[in-house]
Amino acid sequence: MTDINSIILLVVILLNFFILGSARLVACIRAVALQGALLALLPVIVHGFSLHSLGLAGGAFLFKGGLIPWLLLRAIREVRIRREVEPLISLVATLFLGAMATVAAFLFADQLPLIHASQAGVLVPASLATMLAGFLLLMTRRKAITQVVGYLMLENGIFIFGVLLSTAMPLVVEAAILLDLLVAVFVMGIVLNHVNREFSSINIERLSALKE
Amino acid sequence: MAELWLLSLLLPVFGALLVLPLCRYATLSAGIAAVTTVLAAIPGVYVAMSLLNGQPPISIAYAWSLPGGALQIDVDAVSAFFLLPVFILSPLCAIYGGAYLHQVKGKLLGVHWAFFLLLVASMVLVLSAGQVFLFLVAWELMSLTSFFLVAFDHQNKEVKQAAWVYLVASHLGVTLLLGFFLYSSQWSGSLFFSDFEALRAIPQHQATGLFLLAVAGFGIKAGLFPFHVWLPEAHPAAPSHVSALMSAVMVNLGIYGILRTVTWLPQAPAWWGLLLAGFGIAGALYGIALAAVQQDIKRCLAYSTVENVGIIFVGLGVGIYAVAAGFSAVALLAFAGALLHLWNHSLFKGMLFLGAGNLVHATATRNMNQLGGLMKRLPATSMLLIGGSVAITALPPFNGFISEWLIYLGLLHGGLEMPRAMGLPLLLLVSLLALVGAMAILVFVRLVGISVLGNPRSAAAASAHEGSILLLAPPAILLAGCVLIGLNPLPVLDLLRAPVVLLIKTELLPMLTLTAFTGLGRGVWLLLALIAGMALLFFVQRHRHPAVVAATWGCGFALPNNRMSYNATAFSELAHNHLLPRTLRPEVVTAPVTTFFPQAVQLSQQSSDPVLNRLLQLFFTRIANLCQRLRWFQQGRLPIYLLYIFLTCIGLMVWSLRVFGGG
């Protein structure tokens, strides 16, 4: 069981790097969708077949693997952009930072006083690494769409952590996070369209005019 | 008992909940407010009176799901002493307010009344809270609801400004109080006031720090000089019944806080008392001096509140001083005088604000220069104002006289009995207090003479007429209370026994001797007979030689009109040119006459609060300028903000590793 588990998590981490290093938006969205879909398998693998874990897995699969990426893809079709041009720091530098963050996550997770350290395996470092990668994406990209992808990765990281606690973490909490995310994507989509219409650009840099 | 107390707390809350859905109906919501406050006052007054008469304190505890919170209610004699004015003033102000706001159109009055009721409930809760969280929550609720009450006329720019000043001041106060309570609860190891006994063992310098924190934090609410700055701004801005409630009741709660602190902390050294008395006398002089140059009648009354709070603090400070020096007789007189003056101030200041509200209601202006000649047009209001002014200037047979008399007696006894160097400050205070008294007479002669007597100086004043009975009855009841205490002070002094004993902490001296000290009760009826005789003589004289009505000599002007009569500015000219120090003088804008022939000359006078405008504003502007540099952090770019969050997260991770020491 832990083997499949570790393989999934490693793929997730690799996908992090892929997203951090890619300039093509469609590819980013597809990668994050794949990441979400893979993560949806985790609750079933870790906790076995039960109504709770199946519900969690199904919900996550539908939202992260299907609905949200579909919404995002539709949004970029409407605003007609394909590439993330000129990120704040270059893609290579982002990749490097991502690698550093992943190493830091593994080092940090080793130090954590966890109760079931043996059972957790790669879960905790993978979770931290995904969250940090999401943060990096949020900080370094200009397009609002990539920001949404960053939020999705952040959520994926939290989801991995949630799997660890799944028995303690009620379904309601997970459902609430998913709902939050969905609403956030909707709002982003609406803002995106309006910003696009007003400024004929979706660069979030323009939002600095809203300061104060 | 506990149930009755609960009833008096919950009725206003219930009323507020009831009023909110009905906020469209102005009369109905005012009616609900009046009925619930009256209904709450009946058990409330009963509970307060029985506690003052020596019933055991009420203590109730409920669970509260807030971490660290508990609904611990402790009502003792000191609380009861302060609860009594709340329960007496709030129904009267509610009844008055209904009539006062009757003409207001286009506002949801229900919201106003909901805030009013919540203010009453929160004041009751502040006075009964026996736990830090509960106290702070109630205190904050009180500040916020009164902020909304002050901002009633928020479309008006001045009102908005005043409300902001008030909000900022009260939050600065809460910040200090938070520090005070956190430190004390950490030291005593408990959030319950009943466990604050442990503070009695606190080292002296820490006790001093706590005391200063409490004086500043509570002093802001109490209007203690130099923390009074919100008071002259907020009181004129608020509707009159709100000013009355705030000035007569809410200000007291600040004094309550300081008194409670003194009972928690170890035996106060003498200099604490002198400090309080020093602030008090400075505030009294400052307040009355600025009251003398105000043209706004409610602003004048607000400064008079600063003065009276100052006098109360003189009494309290001297009491603490005397306890520290071991002169419990002096302490007894001073404390009793201060506490009685607090009650008296609630009565006559409430009455004066309501009376001044009647003038505002009838003429739609607060400027005394626009009033005048109202004795004939609003006879009842004018008589009430005159009565209130006599009471507040401490003239017999009203109540102000009794309390100031007690304070003077305390000062004189102390000055004569204490060893020379110790008695000296008290004797100095006597003369300064006398100066305050003289100034008070000047201020209130001016207030009555300019705004009520003479001939009307504006069309609004000329066409003014008396409002409904609901506008007259509440101040009349308060004035009746003033007369009652003035003529029959002994039963009232008996009620003060329980709180004073709690303050002096020693029962060496039976309170009964208070009456023996003061000689009160002996001369009162004689005095009354004397006054009645003089009044009779006056009326007989009047009847025999009726007054001749003729035009006033117009200084040689061909066509004198009413605008040429003395106004408020002219009346205080002597005071502000010769009596006041330069910093307190109002700004006078005028042009000198340069030619031999008459020409148009303008003169205007503007008084601003020196503490607010010259000290605090300067200070806060400087801080704001310094803080401008922090604006660098606000880059207005999302990635930067996210970076801040990121760095914080990383920082917290590292910190957690350090703290938990790693796996």
Start-end of H helices in B20-65: 26-52
Element spanning B62, H or E: strand B58-63
Q: Using CB atoms, which residue from A111, A138, A211 is nearest to B642?
A: A138
Q: Which of residues 315-334 of B touch A (CB under 8 A)?
A: none
Indicate whether B663 pLDDT > 50.
no
| Segment among B13-22, B393-402, B444-453, B558-567 with least mean pLDDT | B558-567
Mean pLDDT of A191-202: 62
The interaxial angle of helices A144-164 and A68-79, nearest 10 deg, is 170
Residue B509: the pLDDT is 54
For residue A72, which of A31, A118, A110, A100 has the smallest C-alpha distance? Answer: A31
Chain A residues touching B661 at Cβ < 8 A? 113
Scanning every residue of chain A, which has its alpha carbon at the shortest distance from the alpha carbon of B650?
Answer: A132
A143 forms beta bridges with A203
Mean pLDDT of B77-87: 92
> Residue A191, class by beta-carbon neighbours within 10 Å (0-12 exposed, 13-18 middle, 19+ buried)?
middle
Query: ω before B236 within 30° of 0 (cis)?
Result: no
Residue B453 three-state SS: coil
**Per the domain annotation, does B154 fall within a domain?**
no
Chain A residues touching B663 at Cβ < 8 A? 110-114, 117
Is B652 at the interface with chain A, CB within 8 A?
A: no
Residue A85: the pLDDT is 61
**Per the domain annotation, does B498 fall within a domain?**
no
| Segment among A28-37, B106-115, B629-638 with least mean pLDDT | B629-638
Q: Using CB atoms, which residue from B635, B638, B653 is nearest to A204?
A: B638
**Nearest-CA distance from B143 to chain A in Å?**
28
Chain A residues touching B659 at Cβ < 8 A? none
**Per the domain annotation, does B121 fall within a domain?**
no
Scanning every residue of chain A, which has its alpha carbon at the shortest distance from the alpha carbon of B652?
Answer: A108
Residue B580: the pLDDT is 78
Inter-residue contact A130 to A156 (CB < 8 Å): yes
The DSSP code for B398 is S
Mean pLDDT of B467-491: 87
Indicate whether B651 pLDDT > 70.
yes
Mean pLDDT of B250-276: 89
Inter-residue contact A138 to B640 (CB < 8 Å): no
Residues B532 and B646 occupy one common structural domain:
no
For residue B374, which of B302, B299, B462, B286 has the smallest C-alpha distance? Answer: B462
Number of domains making up chain B: 2
Q: Which residues span the domain enclosing B636?
A: 610-660
Chain A residues touching B643 at Cβ < 8 A? 139
Chain B residues touching A98 at Cβ < 8 A? none
Indicate whether B256 pLDDT > 90.
yes
Largest distance between two CA atoms of chain A: 54
Indicate whether B552 pLDDT > 70.
no
Is B662 at the interface with chain A, CB within 8 A?
A: yes
Confidence of residue B608 (pLDDT cuts 50, 70, 90): confident
Is B636 at the interface with chain A, CB within 8 A?
A: yes
Residues B464 and B319 occupy one common structural domain:
yes
Largest distance between two CA atoms of chain B: 105
**Nearest-CA distance from A64 to chain B in Å?**
23
Give the Cα separation of B368 and B349 in Å (integer).
Answer: 18
Give the Cα separation of B77 and B69 in Å (integer).
Answer: 24
Chain B residues touching A138 at Cβ < 8 A? 639, 642
Q: Work out whether strand B587-590 and strand B58-63 pair parallel, antiparallel, or are unpaired.
A: unpaired
DSSP E strands, B505-636: 587-590, 603-606
Chain B residues touching A108 at Cβ < 8 A? 653, 657
**Per the domain annotation, does B314 fall within a domain?**
yes
**Per the domain annotation, does B496 fall within a domain?**
no
Scanning every residue of chain B, which has its alpha carbon at the shortest distance from the alpha carbon of A209?
Answer: B636
**Per the domain annotation, does B203 fall within a domain?**
no
Q: Work out whether strand B603-606 and strand B70-75 pair parallel, antiparallel, or are unpaired.
A: unpaired
A167 vs B645, more confident: B645
Q: Which of residues 595-634 of B touch A (CB under 8 A)?
A: 634
Is A208 at the interface with chain B, CB within 8 A?
A: yes
Residues B339 and B426 occupy one common structural domain:
yes
Scanning every residue of chain B, which has its alpha carbon at the shortest distance from the alpha carbon of A132?
Answer: B646
Please answer yes or no on whether A207 and B637 come within 8 Å at the CB atom.
yes
**Nearest-CA distance from A165 to chain B in Å?**
19
Residues B618 and B532 occupy one common structural domain:
no
Two tokens at B455?
């001939």
Two tokens at A89?
């720091």
Is A106 at the interface with chain B, CB within 8 A?
A: no
Please answer yes or no on whether B663 and A117 come within 8 Å at the CB atom.
yes
B545 vs B420, more confident: B545
Please answer yes or no on whether B646 and A139 come within 8 Å at the CB atom.
yes
Mean pLDDT of A152-180: 72
pTM: 0.79
Indicate whether A120 pLDDT > 80.
no
Q: Using CB atoms, which residue from A135, A211, A212 is nearest to B642?
A: A135
Two tokens at B425?
């400050």
Give the Cα separation of A116 and B205 in Å (integer).
Answer: 51
Residue B141: the pLDDT is 93
Inter-residue contact B212 to B170 (CB < 8 Å): no
Scanning every residue of chain A, which has its alpha carbon at the shortest distance from the alpha carbon of B660?
Answer: A113
Mean pLDDT of B266-295: 90
Give the Cα separation of B602 and B419 in Å (integer).
Answer: 57
Confidence of residue A141 (pLDDT cuts 50, 70, 90): confident
Confidence of residue B264 (pLDDT cuts 50, 70, 90): confident
Is B649 at the interface with chain A, CB within 8 A?
A: yes
Residue A174: the pLDDT is 66
Scanning every residue of chain A, which has its alpha carbon at the shortest distance from the alpha carbon of B654?
Answer: A108
Chain A residues touching B648 at Cβ < 8 A? none
Scanning every residue of chain B, which has its alpha carbon at the shortest distance from the alpha carbon of A101?
Answer: B650
Residues B616 and B479 occupy one common structural domain:
no
Residues B524 and B646 occupy one common structural domain:
no
Chain A residues touching B637 at Cβ < 8 A? 204-205, 207-208
Long-range Cβ pairs for the range B139-143 (8 Å, 24+): B139/B174, B139/B177, B140/B174, B142/B250, B142/B253, B143/B167, B143/B170, B143/B171, B143/B173, B143/B174, B143/B221
The DSSP code for B562 is G
Indicate whether B517 pLDDT > 60.
no
Q: Using CB atoms, which residue from A135, A207, A211 is nearest to B634?
A: A211
Residues B530 and B644 occupy one common structural domain:
no
Give the Cα separation of B200 and B264 in Å (integer).
Answer: 6
Output the CA–CA distances (angstroms, integers) from residue B435 to B17, B381, B390, B557, B610, in the order listed: 49, 29, 17, 38, 21
Two tokens at B463?
């066409």
Please answer yes or no on whether A139 and B643 come within 8 Å at the CB atom.
yes
Q: Which of residues 158-187 of A touch B (CB under 8 A)?
A: none
Please answer yes or no on whether A135 and B649 come within 8 Å at the CB atom.
yes
Scanning every residue of chain A, which has its alpha carbon at the shortest distance from the alpha carbon of B643?
Answer: A139
Indicate whether B3 pLDDT > 80.
yes
Give the Cα separation of B322 and B402 in Å (integer).
Answer: 20
Q: Does the interface predicted TM-score (ipTM) exceed 0.95?
A: no
Please answer yes or no on whether A135 and B657 come within 8 Å at the CB atom.
no
Chain A residues touching B645 at Cβ < 8 A? 135
Chain A residues touching B642 at Cβ < 8 A? 135, 138-139
Is B659 at the interface with chain A, CB within 8 A?
A: no
**Per the domain annotation, does B262 fall within a domain?**
no
Please answer yes or no on whether A139 and B639 come within 8 Å at the CB atom.
yes
Please answer yes or no on whether A212 and B636 come within 8 Å at the CB atom.
yes
Mean pLDDT of B305-313: 94
Is A17 at the interface with chain B, CB within 8 A?
A: no
Start-end of H helices in A90-143: 91-111, 117-120, 123-140
**Which residues 6+ apart lie within 8 Å of A114 measured at CB?**
A120, A124, B663
Residue B560: the pLDDT is 72
Indicate whether B257 pLDDT > 90.
yes
**Per the domain annotation, does B153 fall within a domain?**
no
Mean pLDDT of B153-180: 90
Confidence of residue B38 (pLDDT cuts 50, 70, 90): very high
Is A211 at the interface with chain B, CB within 8 A?
A: yes
Confidence of residue B524 (pLDDT cuts 50, 70, 90): low
Scanning every residue of chain B, which has its alpha carbon at the shortest distance from the alpha carbon of A135?
Answer: B646
Mean pLDDT of chain B: 86
Chain B residues touching A141 at Cβ < 8 A? 639
Q: Using CB atoms, which residue from B637, B653, B663 is nearest to A113?
A: B663
